[in-house]
Amino acid sequence: MQVSINVNGKQVHEEIEDRMLLVHFLRDQLLLRGTHWGCDTSNCGTCVVWLDGEPVKSCTVLTAMADGHEVRTVEGLEQDGKLDPVQQGFMECHGLQCGFCTPGMMMTARALLDRNPDPSESEIREAISGQICRCTGYATIVRSIRWAAVHEASSEGATL
Amino acid sequence: MTTLETRQTEFVNNDKKPVGYGRMLRKEDPRLIRGQGNFVDDVQLPGMLHMAILRSPVAHAKITSIDTSAAAALPGVVAVVTGADLAAQGLAWMPTLSNDVQAVLATDKVRFQGQEVAFAVAESRYIARDAIELIDVDYEILAPVIDSRRALDADAPVIRDDLKDKTNNHCFDWETGDAAATQAVFDRADVVVKQEIVYPRVHPAPMETCGAVAKVDPVDGQLTLWCTSQAPHAHRTVYALVAGLPEHKIRIIAPDIGGGFGNKVPIYPGYVCAIVAALVTGKPVKWMEDRSENLVSTGFARDYIMQGEIAATKEGKILAVRTHVLADHGAFNGTAAPIKYPAGFFGVFTGSYDLEAAYCSMTAVYTNKAPGGVAYACSFRITEAVYLVERMVDCLAYELMMDPAELRLKNFIKPEQFPYTTKTGWVYDSGEYERAMRLSMKIAGYDELRKEQVEKRARGELMGIGVAFFTEAVGAGPRKDMDILGLGMADGCELRVHPTGKAVVRLSVKSQGQGHETTFAQIVSEELGIPPQDIMVLEGDTDNTPFGLGTYGSRSTPVSGAAAALVSRKVRDKAQIIASGMLEVSVADLEWEKGSFHVKGDASKSVTIQEIAFKAYGAGDLPEGIEGGLEAQICYNPSNLTYPFGAYICVVDIDPGTAQVKVRRFIAVDDCGTRINEMIIEGQVHGGLTDGIGMALMEMIAFDEDGNCLSSSLMDYLIPTALECPDWETGSTVTPSPHHPIGAKGIGESATVGSPPAIVNAVVDALKPFGIRHADMPLTPSRVWETMQGRHVPSV
C-alpha cells in the first residue's frame, strides 16, 4: 500500500507492505536508525517516537496507522544545527551509557517538557516509567531531564 | 574535519576539561544523542538478506523429521538450512567457551526450549519469519530434567547422550579450600549456622539483543562479521579454530553495542548460522534475534543452590565458612570461564573476612535449560560468592542477636594484613574495609536509622536496614593461571602519536556502554599530557586493533587500562630521548611535567610532547639509535587480579498489607582504587545497583515442570523501571592497587555484585518481627507475603 507521512517535518510518500511496523519503516525504509527496537511487546520503549505529538511505541504501531499523520523521531530533535536542551542534558548529566534506550527516553522527555516545563523528580520518573534503561539506574536520566528544564527556563539551552 | 567532529570537539570543550583524570563529558555521546550510533542492526549492505531461526518449542525431544519444502517454496526465500545440512559440512556442533560442545542446529534431539533447529534466509525480515513458520518438524517428546536437584537421580533421562559413554547428567565437580581443616574449626566453634541459599536463574537482557551481519567476499573468501561481541578477538580465533577459516581472513567488527553485561561474551549458534548463510547464499546476511529469543536461548546467569554454613565464637568472631553448591549449567556447559576455574572466581566466597578455614565443594549438572552461566555483570561468579557469604553473615548476626554492621566490623581483614592470602588461595592486593564501612554508615546515618526502625516496629511498620560488604576479584588475569579456551588473558595496546601531537590508541577490549572512548583517552592523556579531545580510541575491529580477550569480568580498566598507561610511558620514554636531542642535554637532565620535558633547574628550556612528536617525524637527525616516529605497542599480562570493594547499605519499607517492598534509600560506598572519570564511575555504580533491585525483587527466569520458559518476554521477565529505583547515594574511598600501573581496580560490576545481598538483607531485616532469618530471591510481593505467613517459598 501507499502511505504519505510527515516525518520530521518532511512529507514522505512510500510504498509499503501492509503489515509493516512503524519501527521497521523508519529504520529499514527511511534509514532513520536512531529509533531502536528492543522487545516486541511495548515494554522496553527503545522504539518511542511521536505520532501527532504523542509518544508511541513504534514496535506496536503499523505504518499504515501513521498514514496522513505526523511522526517525529530522534533525528528531528536537533533544529537548525542546535541541539535540543534534552540532548544537551543527557550529555551533561551522563543520562546515557550504551545509548540504546536514549533516543526513546529523549523523545518522552521532550514530550514531557512540552506539556510540563518544570516537572518534579517523581513526575519525570512517572513519565519514563514505560521505558527501560539497563545501564544508568535512571537517576542520571532524571537529572538530565531536570537539566533541560532548568536551561530551557533560563533560555541558556539555546546557546550551545 | 566533518561537521559532526567539529561539534563534538566544541561540546566536549566545556569548562571542565581535564588533561588526564577527572570529570569529563563522554566522547561517545555526541553521536548517540543524535541517533547516529552504529549498532549491528544499523548495518545495511547492498543485497543483504535476512535470516530467522526456528527454535524448539519443547525442552527435550527427539527430532524424527524436518520438512522444509513449504518454507523453501515461499517466494522471497533464498535458503533453508537444517542441522542435517550443517552436519554434512561438519558444522553441526561447536565448542563452548568451557570446552564443552553445543549444537549449532539440533541434529539428533533438542535439549532446551528455544534451541536452534533450522534457519531460513530471505529477502526481508518478514519473509524470513514467515518461512520458519512453514518448516514442519516432528518431535518425539522425551521426559525433561528441569529441577537441578533431580538431575543426578538414577532414573533421570540422560540429556547429553551426544557425549561418548555419558550415562548421567553430571557436568563437573570442583572444590576449593581445606575440607579437614574446616571441619576441625566447625567442630570447636560455639555457633554454627546453616542456611540453604538459592540464587535463581536470571538474565542480563541488554536492551539490544544479540545479532550479526555476515559478509563473505566471493573472490578472496574474506569473512567480515559485524557482531554483538564483547570479545571480538577471542571470537575471531574461535571461528578460525572451529570452522577452519584462516584467521587472517576473518574480520570481526563489534560496532556500538547496546549493553552487554556478559550476555555478549559467548559465541551463539545464531552467529555461526549467519556465517553459514552468507557462505551458502553468497550474499551478506543479517540476523537479529528478537527479545524472546534473547531471553530463552542466550547466556543466563547464576542458578546456584548453595548450602551455606558459617562457624563463629559466641562473641561473634567468624571462624570459617563452608558451602556445597549445586550448579545448574543447562543443556550445554556454555560458561565463559578460565579452564582452571570451572566455577569462575566463586572461590572468593570467604568474602572480606579474616577466617581460619574455608571449604567449598560444587557439583554442576546438565538440565534441559538454556546454556550459559557467566553473565550479568557477575565478575565470574563473584555475585554468587558475595551473596552467599553476606547472607550467611547476616544469618549469623540474627542468631547472635548482633548488629550486622558491628559483626562485619569485628571480622574484616585489617589494612595491615594486606596483601592477604585467603583460605582458598586468593591474594587480595589491598583494602581498607573499615574505612569504607564507616563512611557508608555515616552517609546513611546508620544509628538514626536503627532508632527510626525501633519506633516504626513499635507501630507495626515494616522497615528494614540491610548491610553488605563485598570484595571483588577482577581484571583477569595472570596468563599463567587464566585463559579462555587456551588463550591467555593478556591484552595488547598500541599507541601512535601523529606528527601534530594528536594520538590514536588501539585496544583489544570493547565497550558496551562503559565509555571506553573517554576513559582510555583520559588514561593516555594523564600519562602524556595530550588533551583527551586529541586522542582517538579505537576498539572492536580485529583488523585494526591488537589481540586481547575483550571486556567482561570488569577487566577493561584493570588490564587494558594498565596497557594504555604502560604503552604511553613507553612513548614518553622515547619522547624523552628525542627531547634530549632537541634541548641538547642528557636524558638524565630532563624532567617531565605533564605534557612537556624541561631541563632540570631551568624550566624555560622545554619542549612539549607535540613539539617532540613533530620532531619524531620531522626533518633532521634524531639521537643515535632512535628510529623515527612516536608510537609503541605492548601486551600487558597482569601480575595479579585487582580487588575492588565496597560497603552498601539499603533501607526498605514493606507495605504490611500488600507485601510490596519499596527501596527507600541505597547508599553505596565503592573503592575501585584510582578514579579516572568520576562521572563514568558513578554511572557504572548506579547501573549495577539497579541490577540489584532487579535480581533481589523481581527478576527470575522460571520454568514449568515441562521445561517451558515462563520468562520469555519483558512482560514476564521484570526489569526495574524508574519507579522502583531510589535516587542513589554514592560515596568513595581510594585504596590504589599496589601492583597496577595506575592503581585502578575496575568498577564495572561492583554494584551488581554488592547490591543483591544488601537489598535481601534489608528485606529480611524488615521481616524480623515474623521470625524470618532468610528468604530467597526474587522478593516479589507474593513471595514476601507467603514468607510473612510463615510459608516456605522455594525459588526454583
Q: What are residue B225's DSSP bridge partners? A: B214, B252
- Measured CA to CA, the distance from residue B454 to residue B460 in angstroms comes to 10
The number of C-alpha atoms within 13 Å of A128 and in the hemisphere containing its C-beta is 36
Phi, psi (5° rounding) for residue B533?
-65, -20
Q: Is the dihedral of CA B67, B71, B72, B73 positive or negative?
A: positive
Flag if A100 and B258 touch (Cβ within 8 Å): yes
B765's CB contacts (< 8 A; 6+ apart) are: B394, B404, B464, B465, B466
Q: Would you state the cell numbers that stand for residue B16, as one nine-digit string? A: 571542565
What is residue B794's predicted lDDT score, i.e. its pLDDT?
67
| Interface list for A 63-82 with B (CB within 8 A) | 73-75, 77-78
Cis check for the bond before B532: say yes or no (omega within 30 of 0): no
* Closest of B50, B51, B40, B45 to residue B258, by C-alpha: B40
As given in the structure block, the three cell numbers for residue B504 are 590514536
ipTM: 0.97
d(CA B474, CA B743): 13
Query: Is B492 in contact with B479 (CB distance < 8 Å)?
Result: no
Of the partner residues B28, B44, B723, the one whose CB lies closest to the CB of residue A129: B723
Q: For cell 543527557, what's the residue?
A: A90
Distance in Å, alpha carbon of B722 to nearest chain A alpha carbon: 5
Measure the CA–CA gap between A37 and A57, rounded to whole angstroms: 9
Q: Please indicate if any CB of chain A lies within 8 Å of the CB of B22.
A: no
- Kindly report the number of other CB atoms within 10 A of residue B173's CB atom: 10
For residue B377, which residues of chain A lie inside 8 Å, CB to CB?
Answer: none
DSSP letter, residue B347: G
Q: Based on C-alpha coordinates, what's the Rg of chain A?
A: 15
Cβ separation of A87 and B33 shorter than 8 Å?
yes
Whether residue A31 lies within 8 A of chain B, CB to CB, comes out as yes
- Count A/B contacts: CB-CB distance under 8 Å: 172
Strands across the sheet with A70-72, in order? A10-15, A2-7, A70-72, A48-51, A54-57
Running DSSP on this structure, what letter comes out for residue B157? P
Is residue B76 helix, strand or coil? coil
As a whole number of angstroms, the distance between CA B583 and CA B743 comes to 33
**With the C-alpha atoms ordered B556, B562, B564, B565, is the resulting torsion angle positive or negative?**
positive
Q: How distant is the Cα of B3 from the closest Cα of chain A, in angstroms?
A: 10
Number of Cβ within a 10 Å radius of residue B224: 22
To the nearest whole angstrom, how far is the Cα of B108 from the nearest Cα of chain A?
31
Rounded Cα distance, B675 and B677, in Å: 6
Cα separations in angstroms, A84 against B528, B625, B682: 35, 55, 25
Does A121 contact chain B (CB < 8 Å)?
yes
Q: Going by C-beta distance under 8 Å and a sequence separation of 6 or more, which residues neighbour residue A41?
A: A60, B291, B713, B714, B715
What contacts B593, CB < 8 A, 6 or more positions away? B529, B606
Could you tell me the three cell numbers for B515? 565509555
Disruptive mutation site among A100, A110, A145 for chain B (greatest number of B CBs within 10 Å)? A100
For residue B18, what pLDDT is reported?
A: 82
Q: Is B209 on the interface with A (CB under 8 A)?
A: yes
The DSSP secondary-structure symbol of B39 reads: B
Tell the burial category of B790 from Cβ atoms under 10 Å away from its Cβ (0-12, 13-18, 19+): exposed
Q: Are B708 and B113 in contact (CB under 8 A)?
A: yes
Of A38, A74, A130, which has the smallest distance from its Cβ to B208's Cβ?
Answer: A38
Q: What residues of A are in contact with residue B37 (Cβ under 8 Å)?
A: 34, 99-100
Residue showing cell 520503549: A45
Across the interface, do A44 and B291 touch by the CB < 8 Å criterion?
Answer: yes
Q: Which of residues 149-208 of B touch A (CB under 8 A)?
A: 204-208
Query: Which regions in chain B score pLDDT beneath 50?
Result: 1-15
Q: Strand B462-471's sheet: what is its strand order? A: B462-471, B645-654, B661-671, B729-732
- For residue B74 the three cell numbers come to 515461499
Return the residue matching grid coordinates 535481601: B760
Give chain A's length: 160
| Cβ atoms of B456 and B766 closer than 8 Å | no
Which sign does the torsion angle of CA B746, B749, B754, B759 carry?
positive
Q: Give this prediction's pTM.
A: 0.96
Query: Would you say A138 and A127 are in contact if contact means Cβ atoms under 8 Å apart?
Result: no
Q: Touching check for A142 and chain B: CB below 8 Å?
A: yes
In the structure grid, which three cell numbers stand for residue A88, read together? Answer: 544537551
B514·A124 Cβ contact <8 A? no
| B:265-294 residues touching chain A, CB 8 A cutoff | 290-292
Which residues have CB under 8 Å from B699's CB, separation 6+?
Answer: B202, B203, B717, B718, B719, B778
pLDDT < 50 regions, chain A: 157-160
**Full DSSP string of B229-294:** -S-HHHHHHHHHHHH---GGGEEEE--B-S--TTTTSSPPHHHHHHHHHHHHHSS-EEEE--HHHH
The number of residues in chain B equals 796
CB-based contacts of B214, cutoff 8 Å, min separation 6:
B223, B224, B225, B271, B274, B275, B277, B278, B284, B285, B287
What distance, in Å, lies between the first and last C-alpha atoms of chain A?
43
Q: Does B715 touch chain A (CB under 8 A)?
A: yes
Contact B784, B767 (CB under 8 A): yes
pLDDT at residue B24 in the model: 94
Interface membership of A145 toward B (CB under 8 Å): no
Contact B714 A17 (CB under 8 A): no
- Name the B residues in 655-684 with CB < 8 Å from any A CB: 679-680, 682-683
The verdict on B713 touching A (C-beta cutoff 8 Å) is yes
A139 touching B (Cβ < 8 Å): yes
B410 DSSP assignment:
H
C-alpha distances in Å from residue B781, one per residue of B660, B662, B778: 5, 10, 9
Cβ-defined contact of A41 to B291 (cutoff 8 Å): yes
Burial class of residue B286 in the structure, from the number of CB atoms within 10 Å of its CB (0-12 exposed, 13-18 middle, 19+ buried): buried
Q: Which of B683, B719, B728 sits opposite A134 (nearest CB)?
A: B719
